[in-house]
Amino acid sequence: MLLIRDLMTRDVATLEPAASAAEALNICRERRLRHIPILDGGRLVGIVSDRDISDASPPAGEAGREDAMKDLRVGDLMSREVVTAHPQDPIGYAAQEMYERKINALPVMVEEEGEEELVGIVTSTDVLRALVMLTGVHESGSQIEVQAQDRPGILAEVAEIIRDLDVDILSALSSPDRRGDSRTMVFRLTAEDPSTVVQSLQMAGYSVAWITIPRNPR
């Protein structure tokens, strides 16, 4: 299982609430960051994003912008209700929280001697990287889409047909269709030509479509 600890950034840039917006923006630019956790005495009290800073700052080129940004405190710009994660949480937890709450980063916390300690941060970019890893989209091969009646064991049945043809499965995704009586299964295969697999599945009564995934030029 892919856990948050496997993808999180451990070297986290942090600031205190009294830090200026100018300082925060410089850190974002220098380290190519979009989010900075805010600590007060080592305790997480908020998180500020580059968008928070930009929205509160005068437009670029406006007279007095630099002075205004030096006067702005990140403690006044940060989000105080911070959703956090634990290193042992599955990466799917981060994806769900980000999707449902419309956020793009979760500070990662552990409890040490009764106190929570910041040990990392996981971002939407990390979640996308996990998706690439889990689905095998960076690998060459092919992808088949199988539609069948939604019933227990259907995914295992289709996978067994593919396995019996000595074709390796890189990943498998399964989702019920909106009608509720059918299911779509997507398999990433190592075989660049899955025609034999397609024919076997069609002979077994499944509806199948497929595409070839070209080799990654890198």
How does pLDDT run across 174-214, given as a tens digit for each residue?
A: 988 876 789 999 999 988 899 999 999 999 999 999 887 66
pLDDT of 87 higher than 80: yes
- Reported as a single tens digit per residue, the pLDDT across 118-153 is 999 999 999 999 988 888 777 788 899 999 999 999
pLDDT at 115: 86
- pTM, rounded to two decimals: 0.79
pLDDT at 213: 66
- How far, in Å, are 88, 111, 129, 176, 200 from residue 2 at the CA level? 9, 21, 11, 24, 32
pLDDT of 113 higher than 90: no
Domains in the chain, ordered, with CATH? 4-131 (3.10.580.10), 138-213 (3.30.70.260)
pLDDT at 217: 44
